[in-house]
Structure formats: C-alpha cells, structure tokens
C-alpha cells in the first residue's frame, strides 16, 4: 500500500474525504473543517463535513455489503483478520506518524496506541472460538436445543480525537470478525488515521463496504443515531455527548454503548513507595499531554507524606521535555489552540481560587515552533473539591493534589465523584489494597498501576457517569455487544445420508 497520508503530506493542505464501498469518496457537501499540525499550528488539510446525503451514501454502502459478509464463513473472515494484523505490524510506524502529525502526541506514544489497538485485532482473530454456542442433545425426547450468536448488521463507531487508532480498534475488529459491517466516524480534528486503516483493510482482502469512514460533525453523528439501517452505536467521548448519543440512539431502537468522561483519582497511602508513586503520577498525569480518558488528574495524598510526594513529582515534572512529537520530546502539544487555551484557563482559575501552582506549564520552554499549541506539565497543590480544577474533566497536562487525613476520607472522595472510569491506589499494604478494590465505586482499578487499561480479552469501561449502557468495550462483553443470541430447538424424524466422499474435510 502506498499511502499519501504520511508526514511528507503534512506540509501541504490536502482534501480529506470519506471512504465508502472500498474507495475514497469526496462527498457532495460544501462544508469542511481545517486539520492542523499541533506542533506547528499549520493547517495541513481540509476534512469534509458530510451532509445528510453523504452520510446516507456511506451508510448505504455498509448496508449493501452486510448480507454477503454475514454469510461469509468464519474461516474466511478470520483469514482477513490475520492478514490485517500482519500488515499493521509491518506498517504501524506509518500510522504512528500520521497520528503524531494530527494529534501531536510523541511518536513513541502513538506507536503504543497502535500496539494496544492491535491487541484487540489479535483477540478478534479468535472469533471462531468466541462465537461458539452451546448444544443440548435430547433435551426432550428426540429434541435437541442449540444456542447461536449472529451479527447485528451495519454498526456505527463514533471516535474521539485523543486515540484516533486505538479507540476505533476497541470496536471494529470484533464487529467485523463477528460478521457486521462498520461505519467509522472519526474526530474531525485528526481524521486521516481512519482512512489509512481503511486502505489497509482493503489490502488485507476485506470486501468493499464492510469497513467505511464517514467524516463530519454533528450532522454525521445524528444520521448514524437515527438512520434505521444502523443497528448499534459504539461511542467514546465526553459525558454530555455520551448521554446524548445513548438517549438518541436508544430512542431510535439501537443498541448503544457510550463511554463518557472521567475524573480519575489516585490514592497514595503513607506506606507507599513514594518514588514509584511519583514516577507513576508523572506518567499518568502528563503522558499524551493528559489527553487520555484514563489519565490521573487528581492525586489524593493521605497523611504526612504530601509534602515529600509533591516535591518528588515536581522534580520529575520540571525535567520533562515538551516539544514536537517527531523530535526527542517526552510530551507533545495539545490537539488544538482552542483546547490549549481552555486547559490553560483552568490553571488560571485554580490560581485565582487559592490553589498553589507548584509547576506552571503556561510559560514552558518547548522544542518546537512558536505557533504550536503548547502547554507544559502543570502541578497544582492544595486543591479543594469545590474548585473547577478539581470538579471538571480538564483533559490536559494538569495534575491536582488533594490532601486528606485518612484512607476513609480518600475513599469517600472518589465514591462521591460523579465519574467512575478509572482509579488507582499506591500502597505496600495488601489488606488496604484488597479493601480498596472491593469498596471503590469505579469500573477499572489499579493497584500500584496508574493507568489500569485492561488487556483485550478483558473489557474496558467505567461506572456511573462514565458509561451509558451496560456493555463495556472489547473482551467477551464486546463480542456480545456486536452479536445477538438465538436458540434453536430441533426434531428430526428421519435420518439423512450425505453420500460417499473419501477426501479429507476442509474448512473454507
């Protein structure tokens, strides 16, 4: 595959369209949005914003391809999955460079994103085992009962900007392996990764129309949520939009999993290894410039260790190198100027509310162009729970420190928060850790692990306002989301005979 979407293309403005029925599709709409390189501030592309007609063209392609793909054998579907895996392994550096050029995260982080997404592809390669049903012989006299799982039909995936490869890969490998067709709506901030993936699927042998890309904004989203040809929606994004997606999609008869926002806390107990905890807080708070739904944004320091812990984190944070993700940097820019300014405004608000700005990223020295969307690592101490820097999901490199006196106070802080996505505890006390994993009201828990994103054969998802719907992403829950069960009761009164064939039986 020869891609025109790599870094060499990022220096000129290009038109970024849709992908439908196995080929690029420019669309008929006249609306576009600029795509920028966050490290330079330069506009590198114009992405099409679909009108309703464009959206229906892409959805119709998925609907037309569904019957044949549904009836394709598991052996043949799996062969395509394996081919896609091999191509992605060979060319993942290309995809990482595209992610960096539009999102801004450093290339090593982008490669990690691709690798974590690849885990779900590998999980989906075992779809034949995952779709096995059950069978009971002679449940009644001469009556057998069997359960099977079948695909839903065309499904929609609405993906956020922060993981343009990994988050879609939480969903589409399983959806496709199970026999569904897919319409992916990527973020308009970094849309090119989706098209590169579409090209790779085509080279892997996926039939036209099985994987499609619909660019756009709310018009595209609303068409996916209301079009009767779309049977299910997977969404990841902010909580208000997740709630809108869930309510609108379910009102139109769709199965919906909508993963929302987060305010992830990490408790550090007095017995913890403070160097380990400090390293973890820097990694979890400032990796990918804090633009992760699993980032730790609130450190809850218990007891007398707060001063020492804050000093250790500050020392590490000031040593980080912020700069262009294609260079030797630890942390890249934020995705857009508007988002950078919004995150910086939270630092302003925290300072005005009386919090202590220990490390200030607003004036960071960076290795990059002056017009890049820069904000360095920021550490804010003495934060209280009524400050906006604590209450809001900031989605940037801002780590707030809340000081408490006891484990019980820390636990209550987390459990009273409206979000329940991820959390962590740092301690050397096994009893405290076991108590925490039992008592905390959060969907994903780390014990001395700051970012507890499950491996692909487990499922990803939070509690409370971090999830709308009752099904998590990937793992067995993902397989069940993209299939529906059927039970078949059978009685055969006469035996049949298939004739003689001495050849070795084959799967095809």
Q: What is the pLDDT of residue 10?
A: 41
Mean pLDDT of 459-486: 96
Mean pLDDT of 283-307: 97
State the pLDDT confidence band at 11, using cuts at 50, 70 and 90: low
Identify whether the C-beta of residue 157 lies closer than 8 Å to the C-beta of residue 180.
no
Identify whether the C-beta of residue 160 lies closer than 8 Å to the C-beta of residue 189.
no
**Burial annotation 46-71 (CB, 10 A radius, 16+ → b, else e):** bbbbbbeebbbbbbbbbbebbeebbe
State the pLDDT confidence band at 8, using cuts at 50, 70 and 90: very low
**Which residues neighbour 438 within 8 Å (Cβ) at sequence distance 6 or greater?**
none
Cα separation, 117 vs 359, in Å, equals 33
Going by C-alpha positions, the residue among 159, 204, 142 that lies closest to residue 177 is 204
Of 67-76, 159-168, 355-364, 494-503, the range with the lowest mean pLDDT is 494-503
Identify whether the C-beta of residue 476 lies closer than 8 Å to the C-beta of residue 129.
no
Q: What is the pLDDT of residue 41?
A: 97
Q: What is the pLDDT of residue 6?
A: 39
The pLDDT tens digits of the residues spanning 249-260 come to 999 999 999 999
Half-sphere exposure of 371 (CA within 13 A, CB side): 6
Token digits of residue 373: 């969307």
Q: What is the pLDDT of residue 172?
A: 98
H or E segment and range at residue 393 = none
Mean pLDDT of 369-380: 97
Cα separation, 94 vs 2, in Å, equals 10
Q: For a pLDDT cut of 90, what percent of the chain falls above it?
A: 93
Q: What is the pLDDT of residue 497?
A: 59
Residue 272 pLDDT greater than 90, yes or no: yes
Mean confidence (pLDDT) of the chain: 95
Mean pLDDT of 9-15: 67
Phi, psi of 482 (to 5 degrees): -90, 10
H or E segment and range at residue 371 = none
The pLDDT tens digits of the residues spanning 73-116 come to 999 999 999 999 999 999 999 999 999 999 999 999 999 999 99
Cβ atoms within 10 A of the Cβ of 1, count? 11
The pLDDT tens digits of the residues spanning 114-155 come to 999 999 999 999 999 999 999 999 999 999 999 999 999 999
Q: What is the pLDDT of residue 13?
A: 84
Q: What is the pLDDT of residue 9?
A: 40
pTM score, two decimals? 0.94
Mean pLDDT of 400-425: 98
Q: What is the pLDDT of residue 3?
A: 38
Cα separation, 224 vs 235, in Å, equals 11
In the chain, the N- to C-terminal Cα span, in Å, equals 27
Residues forming the active site: 293
For residues 495 and 221, the model is more confident at 221
Alpha helices in 131-191 (DSSP H): 166-177
Residue 55 pLDDT greater than 60, yes or no: yes
Token digits of residue 48: 């099409």
Cα separation, 389 vs 179, in Å, equals 44
The number of angstroms, rounded, from the C-alpha of 154 to the middle of its chain's C-alpha atoms is: 20
Q: For a pLDDT cut of 70, what percent of the chain falls above it?
A: 96
State the pLDDT confidence band at 241, using cuts at 50, 70 and 90: very high
Residue 415 pLDDT greater than 60, yes or no: yes
Mean pLDDT of 455-481: 96
Identify whether the C-beta of residue 133 lies closer than 8 Å to the C-beta of residue 149.
yes
Cα separation, 97 vs 93, in Å, equals 6
């Amino acid at each position: 595959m020869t891609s025109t979407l790599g870094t060499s293309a990022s220096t000129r403005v290009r038109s970024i369209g849709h992908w439908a029925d196995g080929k690029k599709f420019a669309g008929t709409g006249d609306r576009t949005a600029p795509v920028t390189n966050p490290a330079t501030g330069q506009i590198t592309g114009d992405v099409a914003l679909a009108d309703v007609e464009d959206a229906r063209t892409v959805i119709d392609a998925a609907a037309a391809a569904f019957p044949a793909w549904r009836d394709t054998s598991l052996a043949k579907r799996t062969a395509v999955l394996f081919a896609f895996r091999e191509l992605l392994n060979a060319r993942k550096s290309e995809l990482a460079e595209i992610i960096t050029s539009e999102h801004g995260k450093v290339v090593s982080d982008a490669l990690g994103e691709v690798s974590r997404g690849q885990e779900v592809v590998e999980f989906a390669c075992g779809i034949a085992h995952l779709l096995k049903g059950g069978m009971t012989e002679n449940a009644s006299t001469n009556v057998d009962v069997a359960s099977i799982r079948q695909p839903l039909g065309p499904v929609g995936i609405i993906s956020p900007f922060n993981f343009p490869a990994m988050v879609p890969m939480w969903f589409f490998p399983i959806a496709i392996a199970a026999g569904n067709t897919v319409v992916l709506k990527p973020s308009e901030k970094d849309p090119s990764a989706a098209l590169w993936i579409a090209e790779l699927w085509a080279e892997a042998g996926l039939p036209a129309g099985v994987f499609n890309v619909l660019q756009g904004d709310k018009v595209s989203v609303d068409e996916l949520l209301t079009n009767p040809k779309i049977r299910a929606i997977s969404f990841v994004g902010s909580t208000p939009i997740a709630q809108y997606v869930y309510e609108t999609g379910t009102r139109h008869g769709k199965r919906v999993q909508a993963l929302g926002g987060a305010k992830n806390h990490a408790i550090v107990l007095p017995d913890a290894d403070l160097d380990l905890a400090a390293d973890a807080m820097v990694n979890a708070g400032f990796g990918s410039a804090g633009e992760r739904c699993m980032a730790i944004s609130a450190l809850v320091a218990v007891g007398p260790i707060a001063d020492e812990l804050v000093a250790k984190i500050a020392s590490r944070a000031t040593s980080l190198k912020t700069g262009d993700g294609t260079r030797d940097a630890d942390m890249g820019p934020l995705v857009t100027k508007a988002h950078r300014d919004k995150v910086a405004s939270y630092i302003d608000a925290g300072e005005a509310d009386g919090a202590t700005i220990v490390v200030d990223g607003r004036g960071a020295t960076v290795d990059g162009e002056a017009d890049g969307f820069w904000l360095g690592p920021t550490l804010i101490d003495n934060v209280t729970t009524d400050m906006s820097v604590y209450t809001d999901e900031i989605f940037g490199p801002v780590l707030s420190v809340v000081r408490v006196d006891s484990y019980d106070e820390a636990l209550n802080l987390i459990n009273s928060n409206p979000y329940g996505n991820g959390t962590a505890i740092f301690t050397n006390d096994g009893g405290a850790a076991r108590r925490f994993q039992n008592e905390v009201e959060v969907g994903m828990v780390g014990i001395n692990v700051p970012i507890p994103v499950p491996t692909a054969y487990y499922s990803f998802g939070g509690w409370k306002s971090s999830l709308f719907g009752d099904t998590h992403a990937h793992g067995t829950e993902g397989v069940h989301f993209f299939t529906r069960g059927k039970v078949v009761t059978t009685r055969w009164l006469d035996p049949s005979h298939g004739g003689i064939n001495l050849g070795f039986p084959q799967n095809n």
